[in-house]
Amino acid sequence: MTVVPVATGILEDENGRLLISLRPEGKPWPGFWEFPGGKVDPGETPEEALHRELWEEIGIRVQDAEPFRTLDYTYPERTVRLHFYRVRRWDGAAHGKEGQQIRWLYPWEIPALECLPANLRMTAAVLEESLPHPPLCLIVDPARVEPQAFAHAWREALRAGLQWVILRCKSAVDEESAKLLKSLCAESLAAGAQVWLNHAEPLPDWPHSGRHLTQSQLEAGLRPSEPFGASCHNAGEIHQAAQAGARYALLSPLFSTRSHPDTLPLGEKAFAELVETSAIPLIALGGLSVERVPAAMATGASGVAILSGILDAPDPFVTTSDFLRYWRP
């Protein structure tokens, strides 16, 4: 099958919104939203085609285009090789020169629309840029570990360079523990880390960066006004989270776990297949050790999440450092 080269622009305005346009009647896939662009003509480079197409379609003169991703995608009628560019500087006001609708949306708003599948992979890639880096997430569950022990592990992980914590409280904590957790949240933010709260309503007044929702909260229709991620276990749940506006999904279990020995793991192949169709970044969770991080990231995961691997470690500082070494050789 012939591969058709296509140049596509991901325009981003000063507020972080992206431009998408609606494919009109008379073209393949009418009524679907996409990032603007078009075929590369014979003799053109993809970047030259990008400049031409964005002028013809939305009336702008590109000042600067940064190569972002190249993706082959097979539709029933053909395979296209999409050359995606990030475009942040241009002249002119974008408008539908061919009569097509255009919209400016934040990346997490786009999956709620009917979009061309390949374009949704770029939504996930853009959202991935907003994740903490390194994308190692520590899930802290006070119910699993004695308070002073998890406080020590949390602080040692931060000292090692951890940038992301999900604080999971499935039940109310006592006043003393609440005071400690509030202090640890504040310490984490002061250290430059992000803290996402996985907590039932009503939410405590602990400092945090965003929310993390369970599947039951998603299904109940909870949609926080602040940034949120979600726990997922299959394609349907990922799709639901993406359409709800989640910034990421924790997908589990990648490998077998001691805590849920009877739960069948997804495995690397199935996980990778879910990554290929996801509109939001997927974070691998379940059965992860330092040695398994390369295999997890090879699936296309945007990061990994650890619970007992750090909280139960004899030396949380050393163990966190070992995990982080994947991103900091």
According to the annotation, is 114 in a ligand binding site? no
Is 135 annotated for ligand binding? no
Beta-bridge mates of residue 81:
5, 72
Enumerate residues 6+ apart whose C-beta is below 8 A from 64.
Answer: 87, 88, 89
The label of the residue with tokens 């974008």 reads: 94
| Residue 37 assigned to a binding site | yes
Q: Positive or negative, the Cα torsion across 195, 325, 304, 107?
A: positive
- 198 annotated to bind ligand: no
57 is in an annotated binding site: yes
Q: Is 234 annotated as a binding residue?
A: no
Main-chain dihedrals φ then ψ at residue 291, nearest 5 degrees: -70, -25
The number of beta carbons lying within 10 Å of the beta carbon of residue 110 is: 24
Residues in the chain: 329
Count of C-beta atoms within a 10 Å radius of residue 52: 17
Q: 273: which residues sit within 8 A by CB, 6+ positions away?
A: none
Closest CA to 243 of 268, 220, 218: 218
Distance CA 128, CA 303 (A): 9
Tokens of 83: 């050359």
Report whether 36 belongs to an annotated binding site: yes
Binding-site entries for 8-oxo-dGTP? 23, 34-37, 119
Binding-site residue ranges: 23, 34-37, 57, 119
Q: Which residue positions form the known binding site for Mg(2+)?
A: 37, 57
